Amino acid sequence: MASCIRSICEVARHQGSVFVDTNVILESHRVGSWRALTGGYRVETVEDCVTETQTGFQRRRPEQRIDAGELHASLAAVHSVEDRDRAELAIRAHDIILDRGEASLWAHALHRDDAWVLCGPDKASLRFGVRMGFRERLVSLERLLDDVGYRPRPSLRTAYTIAWHGRALGEIVLAENE
């Protein structure tokens, strides 16, 4: 009965842009879900996140390496971000320290007025999203993959799951409202 109700009430799969951070790109490649993700959504990121996927390249096992050219080709868009946009972002939430990729991703997202969602497990990034009023636009990788009918093997790491995402957001919302 519960699963029946869940499927009836479930919101339709997101149709707009899906912004992904470096961690999501790496995890999607690790579990073999990148094609499912990019095939099911308009996946976008920023140049800094693509660059971060190449950091530490030489320390990864061959199956963990991501070819930058193939990554660019698989994405719907890779956006460049100006320093002034990152500076503006830093002023809006000066006490939240985002790494370069996430700062660039948020700097880009804040200038968009379309129906986007952001996928990334970094708690500072989630905190920024909550503080800026975008809680409903923050989504877990597991939710995105579930919505396109993909079950990764091996399983996703904990920080990419629906349960972890919900707990983390709940903790952040409580902390932000104190």
Q: What pLDDT, on the 0 to 100 scale, is given for residue 2?
A: 44
Q: What is the DSSP letter of 122?
A: -
What pLDDT, in 10s, does the model give residues 71-101? 999 999 999 999 999 999 999 989 999 999 9
CB 103 within 8 A of CB 89: yes
CB 156 within 8 A of CB 142: yes
Bridge partners (DSSP) of residue 18 are 43, 117
Which residues are within 8 A (CB) of 34 and not within 5 positions of it... i.e. 6 or more apart?
Answer: 25, 28, 74
pLDDT band at 13 (very low <50, low <70, confident <90, very high): confident
Which residues are within 8 A (CB) of 113 and not within 5 positions of it... i.e. 6 or more apart?
Answer: none
CB 118 within 8 A of CB 109: yes
CB 86 within 8 A of CB 107: yes
Q: What pLDDT, on the 0 to 100 scale, is given for residue 3?
A: 44
pLDDT band at 6 (very low <50, low <70, confident <90, very high): very low
Q: Which domains does the chain have, with CATH numbers?
A: 13-176 (3.40.50.1010)
- pTM of structure: 0.90
